[in-house]
A and B are shown apart, each in its own frame.
Chain A
Amino acid sequence: VSVSAPVIRSADSTASWRISDRIGLAFAWALGLLFCAVAAAIVTYLLVQGIKFVRPSLLVTHPTVSLTSNNTGGFLDPMLGTVLVALLAIIIAAPVGICVAVWLSEYGRPSALARVAESTIEMLAGSPSIVLALFGTLIFESPVLGFLSQKTPSGVVYGRSFFAAGAMLSLIALPLVVTTVREGLQAIPSHVREASYAVGKTKIATARRVLLPAARPSVVTGTMLGIGRVIGDTAIIVVLLGATMTLEGAGSTPLLRTLRGTGSTLTSYIFANAPTGDLNQPSKAYAAAFVLLMMVLALNAAVDVFSRRAKELRWS
């Protein structure tokens, strides 16, 4: 008696699937490949346009006003503005964010305050940056904070300066710092804390000497993510940095005069140089977009490195 060999069907074969399942799978493949194509198109288009228009001289010349786009200069000032704004924002957001994260993760008492703090930070993460920008004008136009921007002789506070923009931008970086650092702290198992308490360290000393160093990759990741959000924001810059393309200082103290003054960043430079903006020089906008994209890429690469390091830190 001979037994016919059983039909061997590969586990991956879809021949026996129901038609709806096969359509679903085809749909997933099609959309997945479409997404790849769109992503590749956007990235290559920006890179090609950027390389076409970016010149080393653009990076070191100040923007000037001129009728022909050959004479309007480069974007040195916007680049400096981006760096300044990112530094200011992160100087505020990183310490505050780390402290809030430590409190939420290690103390969290009274629990009512913890709940309120969590939901307010979530609300901040969801609130549009244009709203924060408007709120910023309200704060920084108040006479008390006049020393952070310019004042007319009659006492009207202008309210637009690097200080104002940096302070408001720190608010959009804050939720990212808080959530990332908090996740990093919570990933540390409790026996690490208990070991620290057992050798007599207090709670705050444990947080400072044991937990935060262990969570350093998360701290760096959160900071980088925050910087990425800050340098990409346009609304707050357009509203709160004054609309001058060059850095216009106010006062006489060297660094302080720049920080109290107005200026631009790469995002507001692109915004103004797009066909819908006031200056309308697409080639300059493409070049600036290329530089900004390179900054974002560098930050992303740094985040990759540090978040991988955070994952390598396996407890247990």
Chain B
Amino acid sequence: VIGSSLLSGRRVLLVEDDPILQRAGEASLRQRGLTIITASDGAEGLKKARDEAPDLVLLDLLMPLMPGVELLRALKADAATAGIPVLVLSNSSRDDDKREALALGAAGYLVKANISLKELGDHVERLLTGP
């Protein structure tokens, strides 16, 4: 395990419906010493965010049951979860989508076509350890 001690014990909720990405993300982040909770759709994501109170939510936008944007809105509307930083993972590079997510309170907006797993991990790490 190459994880930084700063990260050990920190818990990240990964809400991603693509099982491959979910597993790859989970493995990659776990290597950094993080504890990963996974959810495969928006509804599950919302439930786990409330139940588990993670330190960070990694959120795919295109998902069944509850679109990522709705989940984001729900998280930010609920005082219990509003403080959890949410990093959005999106397939869309449209400015409008990015603006919308940031306006809803997302802590960051990453486009899947333009980021590697390593860079995703770096972002997460910065968010959890940053000022």
Say if A and B assemble together.
Answer: no
